[in-house]
């Protein structure tokens, strides 16, 4: 019995990684038609993931422009989604996380009175400017959505605290673990992209991109990295630099050409996941890395003032160190010199799920469509 059409919408690299397992599971359900629309708020970084997971979008808004701002992304997604929704008439829309694509796509579906499911729902810092604009994007998307797929109990509690009805929330785990487990292979060998790196040294894997860190905070982070590499001759920094020109400009100005710094292009998810798996530690302002690295037993220093991922902090594998140069340096030094401290953080724990989150989400979506169809008969 045909249950309905599900439209999965996303636009950036992390959303693609985390939605790929959901698309895979939904496509296994014969009674549902699953279609994919990308806003392409990201281009190259999105395409890298589409290729790896063999996703061919049914619609591609191709929105990305150099120097795009929050207004142009929001209006581009809204206008573009209007046409896709009119053409496809989906029975429900699925969005992910906290990007501007997430919020604007949910809003577009709401304007057509189409129910929306939110994957990775309920993450909160309760500070609307940190992370900016993500905290507001996910809060607003949450108000719109009918189904909330919370990765953890904490996320569920956050939603309940905002008076979200408990029967609309499911704790599923985070689909990033599904993607990671699907990707990591014991026999994997790196290609040419990492040939310059001396793996006999301790590898510190770095990524940065958060808007609230643009300017002085980002400079502080890079100064601290210089301090660390100067002090520890057996450390190499591998830094796949985000495509955002704001990040690139400062990173290249301060770190390019420095000894034992490898500023490289964003890596495909497969080599990146394996690099995480063999690095000494991670220093990042990314959201996703705070979920992935703990499940690989890698300590993470979070270069932000807030985190919406308290589970790994509580478990002790992730530490929030902020953006003060000396604080970052001291915390990194501790991990590089104190083996007890290192061992305490380097415990493989997995507060974000068992790799079956996407299966659960597909099942819940199927049941939702079944009940909805029944109500229409």
Tell me which residues touch ligand UDP (CB under 6 A).
Answer: 13-14, 17, 176, 207, 209, 240, 266-267, 269, 272-273, 286-289, 292
Binding partner selected for residue 76 from ligand UD1, ligand UDP, none, CB under the kind-specific 5 to 8 Å limit: none
The Cα 189–Cα 193 span in angstroms is 11
Told to judge if 120 belongs to the known catalytic residues of this protein, a careful annotator would answer yes
Residue 115 Cβ, how far from ligand UDP at the closest point, in Å?
Answer: 25
304 carries an active-site annotation: no
Residue of 244, 315, 334, 370 that binds ligand UD1 (CB under 6 A): 244
- 243 lines the binding site for ligand UD1 (CB under 6 A): yes
The least distance separating ligand UD1 from the CB of residue 193, rounded to whole angstroms, comes to 16
Nearer to ligand UDP, 10 or 368 (CB): 10
Residue in 2, 28, 31, 44 binding ligand UD1, rule: CB under 6 A:
44
Q: Taking CB under 6 A as the rule, does residue 43 contact ligand UD1?
A: yes
At 159, give phi and psi (nearest 5°).
-70, -40
Coil, strand or helix: which one is 216? helix
Q: Which does 41 bind (CB under 5 to 8 A by kind): ligand UDP, ligand UD1, none?
A: ligand UD1
Check residue 41 for interaction with ligand UD1 (CB under 6 A): yes
Q: Which of 43, 201, 202, 211 is an active site residue?
A: 211
Residue 357, classified by CB atoms within 10 Å of its CB into exposed (0-12), middle (13-18) or buried (19+), is buried
Query: 266: which DSSP letter?
Result: P
| Residue among 195, 274, 275 nearest 239 (CA) | 275
Minimal distance, residue 111 CB to ligand UDP, in Å? 26
Residues 170-209 that bind ligand UD1 (CB under 6 A): 209
- Residue of 66, 86, 187, 259 interacting with ligand UD1 (CB under 6 A): 66
- Burial (Cβ within 10 Å: 0-12, 13-18, ≥19) of residue 172: buried
| Catalytic residue status for 242 | yes
Q: Which of 1, 54, 67, 200 binds ligand UD1 (CB under 6 A)?
A: 67
The answer for residues whose C-beta is within 8 angstroms of residue 333's C-beta and 6 or more apart is 228, 231
Q: Which residues contact 56 (CB under 8 A, 6 or more apart)?
A: 36, 50
Active site residue 156: no
Cβ-Cβ contacts under 8 Å for 46 (sequence gap 6 or more)? 11, 12, 13, 16, 38, 40
Cα end-to-end span (Å), the chain:
13
Give the pair of three-digit tokens for residue 127.
């500070």
Strands 147-150 and 235-240: unpaired
Contact positions with ligand UD1 (CB under 6 A) in 107-166: 133-134
Given the rule CB under 6 A, which residues bind ligand UD1?
Answer: 12-14, 41-46, 64-68, 70, 73, 98-100, 133-134, 209, 243-245
């Amino acid at each position: 019995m045909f249950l309905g059409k599900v439209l999965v919408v996303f636009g950036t690299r992390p959303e693609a990684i985390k939605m790929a397992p959901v698309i895979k599971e939904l496509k296994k359900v014969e009674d549902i038609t699953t279609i994919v629309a990308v806003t392409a708020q990201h281009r190259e970084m999105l395409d890298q993931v589409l290729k790896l997971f063999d996703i061919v979008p049914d619609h591609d808004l191709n929105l990305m422009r150099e120097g795009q701002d929050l207004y142009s992304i929001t209006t581009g997604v809204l206008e573009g989604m209007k046409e896709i929704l009119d053409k496809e008439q989906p029975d429900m829309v699925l969005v992910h996380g906290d990007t501007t694509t997430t919020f604007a796509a949910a809003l577009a579906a709401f304007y057509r009175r189409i129910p929306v499911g939110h994957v990775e729902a309920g993450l909160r810092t309760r500070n609307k400017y940190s992370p900016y604009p993500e905290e507001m994007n996910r809060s607003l998307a949450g108000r719109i959505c009918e189904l909330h797929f919370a990765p953890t109990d904490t996320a569920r509690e956050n939603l309940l605290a905002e008076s979200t009805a408990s029967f609309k929330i499911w704790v599923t785990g985070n689909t990033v673990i599904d993607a990671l487990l699907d990707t990591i292979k014991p026999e994997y060998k790196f290609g040419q992209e990492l040939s310059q790196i001396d793996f006999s040294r301790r590898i510190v894997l770095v990524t940065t991109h958060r808007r609230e860190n643009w300017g002085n905070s980002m400079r502080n982070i890079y100064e601290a990295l210089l301090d660390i590499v100067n002090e520890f001759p057996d450390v190499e920094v591998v830094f796949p630099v985000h495509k955002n020109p704001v990040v690139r400009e400062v990173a290249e100005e301060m770190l390019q050409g420095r000894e034992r710094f490898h500023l490289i292009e964003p890596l495909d998810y497969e080599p990146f996941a394996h690099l995480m798996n063999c690095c000494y530690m991670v220093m990042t302002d990314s959201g996703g890395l705070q979920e992935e690295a703990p499940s690989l037993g890698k300590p993470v220093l979070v270069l932000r003032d807030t985190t919406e991922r308290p589970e790994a902090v509580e478990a002790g594998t992730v530490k929030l160190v902020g953006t003060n140069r000396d604080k970052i340096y001291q915390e990194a030094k501790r991990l590089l010199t104190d083996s007890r401290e290192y061992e305490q953080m380097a415990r493989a724990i997995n507060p974000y799920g068992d790799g079956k989150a996407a299966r659960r989400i597909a099942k819940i979506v199927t049941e939702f469509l079944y009940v909805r169809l029944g109500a229409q008969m």
